[in-house]
Every structure is written in C-alpha cells, then in structure tokens.
Amino acid sequence: MLSLLWLIPLLPLAGFLSIVLGGGRMRGSMVALIAVGVVGLSAAMAAAVAIRFIYLPPAGNSFTQTLWTWIPATGFMPEISLRLDALSLVMVTVITFVAFLILLYSAEFMGGDEGYARFFAWMDLFVASMLVLVLADNFLLLYLGWEGVGMCSFLLIGFWYRDSANARAARKAFIVTRIGDAAFVVALFLIFTHLGTLTIQEAAARASREWPVGSGLAVAAAALMLAAAVGKSAQLPLQTWLPDAMAGPTPVSALIHAATMVTAGVYLIARANAFFTLAPFVQWLVAVIGAVTLLLAAFAALVQCDIKRVLAYSTMSQVGYMFLALGVGAWSAAIFHFMVHAFFKSLLFLGAGAVIMALHEEHDIFAMGGLRRALPGTFWAFLIGAASLAALPVVTAGFYSKDLILLCDWTSKSGSVWLWAAGLAGAFLTAMYAFRLVFIVFFGELRTKPGRKPGFRMGAALAVLAFFSLSAGFIQIPPDIVNFSPLSELLETSLPRLSAVSVGTQTEALLQAVAGLAGLAGIFFAWFFFRHPALVERLVLTPLGSAFRRLWLEGWCFDRAYDALFVRPYIRLAEINKDDCIDLLNRTLARACESMHYLLIGTQNGRVRQYAAAVTLGAIVIIALMVLL
C-alpha cells in the first residue's frame, strides 16, 4: 500500500496534463469528471495509506520512497523521493480530502465559465504541487512544489485576467511571496554549502550535530526559512497579498486559504523544526509574528464590508495562531489547528461562494441580510463554520484546536503570559467578527432576492465540510475532559514533543473556561452591536472611532505604507538611477552583442568563394597554431 505513495501527487498531475492536452476538445462534464475524479482517487489513496500507516506503522514511523535520481553528479544527488511520516500524512490526507470537496463544489460553481477547462487544469496542478511540497524528502523537491504552488496561485488569482484589477492582484501575490521565495533559495544554498546535503532529515541531523544552539549559521538558516514562510503564509510583514488574492474565483480562495498555499509556510516551519530549535531567538520571533498578525488581522476583519475580505483577514489571523503555536514549540498543536482550520475555512468560503452566487456576484455584506430563510442550507453550513471559527465551546472543532494552542502558550517553557493574552484577545475578536458576519448576512430583513440556489454537488461539499468542522476536534480532546489524543500521539512520532511546565488540572480547566468565555463574549458583543446599530454608528462617528475604522478597513494601511516606503522610493530610485554603471554595463553588453552580430552577419553574404576562403584561412591558422605552438 505504502509503495503506491507516488500515485498521490501523480494523479492530480495526470489530471492536469490530460485536461491541458485534451481539454479544448472535451465536454465540460468530462473535464469536471477528470479533474474531480483524480483528486478524489488521490484522496482515497491517501486514506488507504493513512489507514495502513496508523495500524501498521512502518519501521521508524516513516516511509521513504526514492523514485529516481534526477541528474546525479559528483556530490550532488537530487533525488526525486517522497517521505511519508506522521506530519506529511496528516497534511496529505487533509489536502486531498478538502481539495476534493472544493473541486466537487467548483464543478457546479464554475459551470458556464468560458475558462472551465483552464480552471480545472490549474486547480489540479495546484493540488499536485502542494502534494509534492508536503511529500518531498529533500529541500529541492520541496522547493519545486513551493514554486509550483506560487505559480498556480498566480494563475488562479488572475483567472479572470481580462479585468486588470484581477491581474494586478495576481501580480501582487506573486511578487510579495517572491520576496519570501528568494529568502528560501538563499536558505537552500546555505544548507547545501554548509551541510552538504539537501535531504531534509539528513540536513536536520547534521545541523543538530554540527551547529551549536544559537550559532550564526543556524540563526541565518532559520531566519531565511521564516522569511519564506511568512511570504507564503501571509504573515507580517508580507501579509498584504492575501486580502487582494480574493480576486480569483471563490473556490480558488477556499483552496488557497484552506488546503494549499498559505499553509505551506506552517508546514515548512514544522518540517524544519530542527533548525528553529537551534535558533531560539528566531523561534521566539515566529511566535511574536504570529501573535501580532493574529491581532492585527482580527481587528481588520472587524470592519470589512466585503464578505470574502472578512474571511481573508480571518485566515491571516488563524494562520497567526498556527505560527504562535509553532513559535512556542507546540508543533502538533499547530498542525491540529491547520487541520481544523482547513475544514471550517473552506466551509466558510464555499458558503460565502454560495451566497455570492445566489445574490448575483454581490460581495457587500450590507447588501445581503435575512438570508436565513431564503438559503437555509447555506445558512446552517455557514453558521457551523462561523461557530467553529469562533471556537464555540465543546461542540465545535475550532474550540479544541484553539484551546490547545492557548494552553500551550501558557504551559510551554518558551511561552509567556503575553502570548497567551494575545491569543485570548484574538479569540474574543475572532468570535466577534465571525458572528458579525453571520448576523449581518443571514439575519435582519431580506435586502436582495436570492437567485440560483446551490445544487447537489455544492450542497454535498458544504454538508461534509460542516460535519468535519464540528467533529474533527474530537480526535484531540483535552485530558481534563476525556483523555483521548490520538492525533498528537501520531504527530509526535515525527515532531518533537512540547516541552511544557506542568500545571495542575484545575489551572487547565480554568484556562479552558476563560478561553470559552472569551469566545462567547465575542458572540454576545456581535449580537449586541447587531441589535443596536445606532450605537455602532455613534462609535464610528467619534474621531477616534472613524480613524480606527479607516485604519482597519485598509488593513492597518500596510499597503499604503509599503507603497510610500518601498514601492515609490524604489521606482523613483530606479528612475534616477536608470543610467548607472550596472545598467550601463548591461546595456553596453547588449549593444556589443548586437553590433557584433551585425559585424558577423556581414560575412554571411552567400558568396561561396568567400566561404571557401574562410575555410582555407581557418586551415592555415590551425596548421600554424598546431605546428608552431
């Protein structure tokens, strides 16, 4: 069973190829069948592999499959090999499963779009790239997946490329994440030159052996990988691309936010945990970045009017939680939250997509309202997603994962009260913006009459995701309720265990109660403000209120700041500097090549006797060279 591991990324890739090569001639239903089918098969394979892995764990709790060596040369063995351990197992299972549901949903959602085949081709490639990323045994292959994910996100965000705003959003996503990618490449060079290998496990082992904790190289490697991760995962300071990335079709947003792309950074840090353990400062930085991002994004989400923008900021904020967990060494808690987040975030996006479709491409939440009765199925799905996001105690999965992160912040040796407090404040804000969305969109009076309702395929995807948004938390229940934690037991076979200060059961229970209360309080405040719109208006009209509103609406004005600080000065500098020596050198080189071309091309005049003369001259020169030298 395990030896069929290679099929998991290959199937979506094959789907991509067959659609690209034959998509023009295929009917839409055929395209959808192939695209959804291959990912479904891949998900089934992943499930089978998972069962085999859990009930009959391979030796060393990991399974490496070397397919071939790409271009072997002395000292450089770029192997195409896959590695399955608990971490990649969880990632693969979640990615294939969620992607399958999203694709199933898109088969209906994208119906009638002129780029139907193109859409599914890119989606399949997106999934394949992400699977290569998480299954890669070495950094080179991981980097291939990393770049593939980046390219597909570019293509899909700019899917409706005729609108220049979409193209601009795609470009922005590509360029901003590119900054992180560049750091990643440097990290790879660093690792290869100093450790002499690109195999992840081997490099980690050598690093732990050869680099002392806190040494310059370790800090540099970890910091560069952190830079790569914040780019892909939309964390401070490279978070600005994510809100604009909703320019793509809604299923694309769901895929980017839930299963692929933004979670790549989280995966990278978890996978390279040895390097971060060697650089405690960088790891602390991971936690701080997570904490700050989760707060800033939560504030920004509070005031957005575009339904997808709220969700985009919420993703940023939730990935911030994952970073917070990674930063305090709670590796498995981060992956747990990734898994739960994948379910409820895709559910929310797909629910939002159903609303948007029903209201004829309406994105403004204030034009919605009262949809509870008009779209009951969508309402319940969205409500479940929002409840999970708000970490409604006991019944939702979000509660268990967020609670675990907060607990780890408190108990971890590298945690602190401040990180815990940030997480707690975030939990309050999260609940507030999540339910603000629910109340405004689904309660109150009906403002726009809904048109097309979701059909079977969309409904099925929503239902399954709703089920998992509620139940996925039960595989990791805190010990003070029921001692049942198979997920962390599984993950700890490949990730280090959290080094925690033990606290009493009572403290734990108290912390849980506080976290639960924060969520409930958030929901209450959302309800309160929804019932008293005049209060909100008054708040907004105060000078401080309006200033903050504007600030948050623009996501803390990072775009404007970057524009003023980097983009415009850079462009101005480039304009001033366009005739500097480097440009001059480049241009001179190009000119020199060109003029040499014109010089040489003159000899190609078609005169055969001159050609013969050249041969003769060449012969004389070579004889002279050989004989005289």
Partner 1 sequence: MITVPIEHVILMAAILFSLGLTGVLARRNVLFILLSIEVMLNAAGIAFVAAGARWAQADGQIMFLFILTMAAAEVAVGLAIILQYYRHTGTLDVDAMGGGRR
Partner 2 sequence: MVRGDFFILLPLIITGGAAVAVMLLISFRRSHLATATVTLVALGAAVISVICVAAAAPRQASALLILDSYALFYMGLIFAAGCAVTMIAYDYFERQTDHREEFYLLLLLATLGSAVLVSSNHFASLFLGLEILSVSLYALIAFHRERLPSVEAGVRYLILAAASSAFLLFGMALIYLERGDMTFFRSTQIASGVPAWSPLLLAGTALLIVGIGFKLALVPFHMWTPDIYEGAPPPATAFIASVSKGAAFVLLLRYVTLFGLHSGSVQSAAIAAIAVASMFFGNLLALREEKVRRVLAYSSIAHMGYLLVAILAAGPLAAVAAGYYLVAYFTSIIGSFGIISVREGREGGGDAVSDYRGYAWRHPWLGGAFTAMLLSLAGIPITAGFVGKFYLLAAGLESSLRLLVVVLVASSAIGLFYYLRIIITLYGPPEAERQGAAITPAVSLAGGVALTALTFLLIWFGAYPAPLLRLIQAMVGG
Stretch that binds partner 2, among 223-231, 280-288, 443-451, 613-621 (CB under 8 A): 613-621
**Of positions 74, 579, 605, 626, contacts partner 1 by CB under 8 A:** 605
604 binds partner 2 (CB under 8 A): yes
Nearer Cβ to partner 2 (573/615): 615
- Tell me which of 21, 541, 584, 612 binds partner 1, using CB under 8 A: 612
Among 59, 73, 609, 628, binds partner 1 (CB under 8 A): 609
Q: List Cα–Cα distances, 497 to 207, 328, 489, in angstroms.
A: 19, 11, 9
Choose the one of partner 2, partner 1, none that binds residue 163, judging by a C-beta under 5 to 8 angstroms depending on kind. none
Spatial distance between the Cα atoms of 170 and 76, rounded to a whole number of angstroms: 35
CA distance 419 to 407: 11
Scanning 217-225, 266-274, 586-594, 606-614 for contacts with partner 1 by CB under 8 A, the matching segment is: 606-614
d(CA 261, CA 259): 7
- C-alpha 331/C-alpha 315 separation (Å) is 19
**How many Cα atoms sit within 13 Å of 279 on the Cβ side?**
24
Q: Which does 70 bind (CB under 5 to 8 A by kind): partner 2, partner 1, none?
A: partner 2
Cβ closest to partner 1, residue 542 vs residue 616: 616
CA distance 218 to 213: 7
CB closer to partner 2 out of 164 and 483: 164
The rounded distance, in Å, linking the Cα atoms of 586 and 594 is: 12
Q: Is 608 in the site for partner 1 (CB under 8 A)?
A: yes
Residue 165 CB coordination number (10 Å): 11
The answer to whether the beta carbons of residues 346 and 254 sit under 8 Å apart is yes
CB of residue 132 to partner 2, shortest distance in Å: 13
Q: Which does 164 bind (CB under 5 to 8 A by kind): partner 2, partner 1, none?
A: none
The CB-of-609 to partner 1 minimum distance in angstroms stands at 6
Among 72, 455, 479, 569, interactor with partner 2 by CB under 8 A: 72
- Alpha-helix runs per DSSP H in 211-256: 216-233, 241-244, 250-254
| DSSP per residue, 439-501 | HHHHSS---S---SPP-HHHHHHHHHHHHHHHHGGGGSB-TTT--B-HHHHHHTTTSPPP-B-
Task: Encode burial over 107-116: b for 16+ CB neighbours within 10 A, e otherwise.
Answer: bbbbeeeeeb
> Is residue 595 at the binding interface for partner 1, with CB under 8 A as the rule?
no
What sign does the CA torsion over 169, 170, 175, 178 have? positive
Scanning residues 494 to 513, which ones bind partner 2 (CB under 8 A)?
Answer: none
Residue 451 sits at φ, ψ, to 5 deg, of -100, -105
**Any contact of residue 616 with partner 1 (CB under 8 A)?**
yes
25 is an interface residue for partner 1 by CB under 8 A: no
Stated as kind and residue range, the H or E segment containing 85 is strand 79-85
**Residue 353 and residue 105 in contact, taking contact as beta carbons nearer than 8 Å:** yes
In the list 29, 69, 499, 588, the residue contacting partner 2 (rule: CB under 8 A) is 69
With residue 316 as reference, give the H or E element that holds it. Answer: helix 307-327
Nearer of residues 483 and 605 to partner 1, judged by Cβ: 605
Q: Which is nearer to partner 1, 497 or 607 (CB)?
A: 607
Tokens coding 568: 């415009």
* Token pair 């070397």: residue: 66
Question: Which CB, 73 or 626, lies closer to partner 1?
Answer: 626
Q: Whole-angstrom Cα distance, residue 142 to residue 79?
A: 11
The DSSP bridge partners found for residue 364 are 306
Q: How far is the CB of 620 from partner 1 (least distance, A)?
A: 10
61: DSSP letter = G
Q: How far is the CB of 618 from partner 1 (least distance, A)?
A: 13
The verdict on 71 binding partner 1 (CB under 8 A) reads: no
Instruction: Say if CB 317 and CB 297 are below 8 A apart.
Output: yes
Minimum distance of partner 2 from residue 601's CB (angstroms): 6
Among partner 2, partner 1, none, what does residue 622 contact (CB within 5–8 Å per kind)?
partner 2
For the CB of residue 36, give the shortest distance to partner 2 in the complex, in Å. Answer: 24
Answer with the entry of partner 1, partner 2, none that 598 interacts with (C-beta below 5 to 8 A by kind).
Answer: partner 2
Q: How many residues bind partner 2 (CB under 8 A)?
A: 35
Site residues for partner 1, 379-398, by CB under 8 A, read: none
Q: Least distance in Å: CB of 3 to partner 2?
A: 18
Nearest in space to 381 (alpha carbons), one of 362, 355, 403, 361: 355
Q: Based on the shown chain and the rule CB under 8 A, indicate whether residue 513 belongs to the binding site for partner 1.
A: no
Instruction: State how beta strands 62-69 and 79-85 pair.
Output: antiparallel
Residue closer to partner 2, measured from CB, 21 or 573: 21
Give whichever of 165 and 613 is closer to partner 1, judged by the CB atom.
613
Mask for 241-280, x = binds partner 1 (CB under 8 A): ----------------------------------------
Residue 540 binds which of partner 2, partner 1, none (CB < 5-8 A, kind-dependent): none
Residues that bind partner 2 (CB under 8 A): 21, 24, 68-74, 593-594, 596-598, 600-601, 603-604, 606, 608, 610-612, 614-615, 617-619, 621-623, 625-627, 629
Residues that bind partner 1 (CB under 8 A): 601, 604-609, 612-613, 616
